[in-house]
Amino acid sequence: MREGRCHGGPLDGQVRTTRCPDGFLLGDKPTERAWFYDWRDGAFQLREPEPEPFTETLEVGYAMGQEYDVLALPDPPADAVAAVEAAQAMAAVEAAPDAETDEFTILASNPNPGRISTAIWRLWSDFDRFEPSALLGGVYAAKPGYHNYRNALPSSDYSVRDLAADRQGSGVMASALDLSLSDAAMRKYTGRLDSAARSRDPRLYTPRGPVLREFIGTKDSRTVYCYVLVGGRPLGVGADAGPDPGRDKTHLWHIHLSIVRQFCEDWSALDGVLSVLRGESLAAWRSRSEYNEMTPQQAQQLRDAHYTTAVAIPNPTGDGKVPLHVWAGWMTGAVKALATAVGNVDEATKAQLQQDLTSLQAGIDAVPEQVVRAFGPSDDPEDIALRLRAMLGDKATAVGQILARG
């Protein structure tokens, strides 16, 4: 950490705290200007009096490095910001027929696809499109916490140790995003995240759990503000969720998002975070979200679709595969029909039916073995429960109660 007074340029006389040892790049995206401040003699010294052109290549290059931080101009010129906002609004209207972001474009612009997921890079790219002051503060960094990937961290690291959901998802992708912003934008977006977190907004709290472990920013440009959405007790919060003081002062100029690792590649979940940041209404998000509540019938259909491809057997009546519980239901129905028919036919037909019945019974007897093969030793209890629920249908609750009794 470095803390010192700035000499020269737009920040002359102001005190800044940075994470990186060599200084920082100060960017003004609306006017496309950039200044370098180098750490020297216990202060941040302006490198050149005249600004240099600000480019995305310059921004991303330094954001990916460990020597210089990337800071946004605290108070960019209002007329320049207005011009950028107008241009962005026009671009959004012109792009409306092709509102879906081109995934190839996202992949192509990702500076480190081996460590930065497409979903996180899209979260940054989409946010960058609508916030004029936004600069990339960082994603992957070889250090403790969510900026690093799980497989590179010890099991004692808080971003691995505390939450079961952090031990799921990709082990090779970073799971944090830093957004460097103007002072006004810092207050705006920290406030939006705080309101959503405190109201348990479903865009941040999915049926699978909170998308963010925590966010850190400022609501007043003077005091660092952190809110922990889940796993607060191991951090000393005193509850599972709540404000957590004591984070460093670099968060006065950048918002940090710790993304629960099971969601680091899940765009549907991160789209909810983006919706909160954008100020989109909850109703508008719900109308297009994949995380809406489903009816039991829809949930069963979704499970069937998943296990048709993931845990299924060849369809005996045609092409493709069917879930085990569907197949078992067919077999049971066939056996019952045969049992009824056996008593109403001549001896030759009866013998043939008995042979068919024996064959079908053998098939049903094989189902437990198929069930055993459907579960691997590394499967999580939640995965096993989902598969059993799909197989057992409406008897799942009763079976669960029996298992719970031990």
DSSP SS3 for 2: strand
Contact call for residues 315 and 321 (beta carbons, < 8 A): yes
Residue 355 has a pLDDT of 74
Residue 76 has a pLDDT of 72
Cα gap 149→139, rounded to integer Å: 10
Cα gap 406→404, rounded to integer Å: 5
Measured from the Cβ of residue 239, the count of other Cβ atoms closer than 10 Å reads 9
- For residue 179, the Cα-to-chain-centroid distance in whole angstroms is 16
Cα gap 136→139, rounded to integer Å: 8
List C-alpha distances in Å: 166 to 143, 147, 151, 161: 17, 13, 11, 8
- For residue 125, the Cα-to-chain-centroid distance in whole angstroms is 14
> Which amino acid, one-letter code, is at 306?
H
DSSP codes, 5-36: EEESGGGTT-EEEESSSSEEEEEEGGGTEEEE
Measured from the Cβ of residue 15, the count of other Cβ atoms closer than 10 Å reads 12
> In a structure prediction context, what are the per-residue pLDDT tens digits for the chain, which is 406 residues long?
999 999 999 999 999 999 999 999 999 999 999 999 999 999 999 999 999 999 999 999 999 999 999 999 998 767 665 666 565 555 544 444 344 455 666 677 899 999 999 999 999 999 999 999 999 999 999 999 999 999 999 999 999 999 999 999 999 999 999 999 999 999 999 999 999 999 999 999 999 999 999 999 999 999 999 999 999 999 988 889 999 988 999 999 999 999 999 999 999 999 999 999 999 999 999 988 766 554 445 545 554 555 444 445 566 556 666 555 555 666 666 666 656 655 566 677 767 767 766 766 666 565 555 555 555 555 666 666 666 666 566 666 767 667 666 5
Residue 97 has a pLDDT of 37
Helix (H) or strand (E) holding 44: strand 43-46
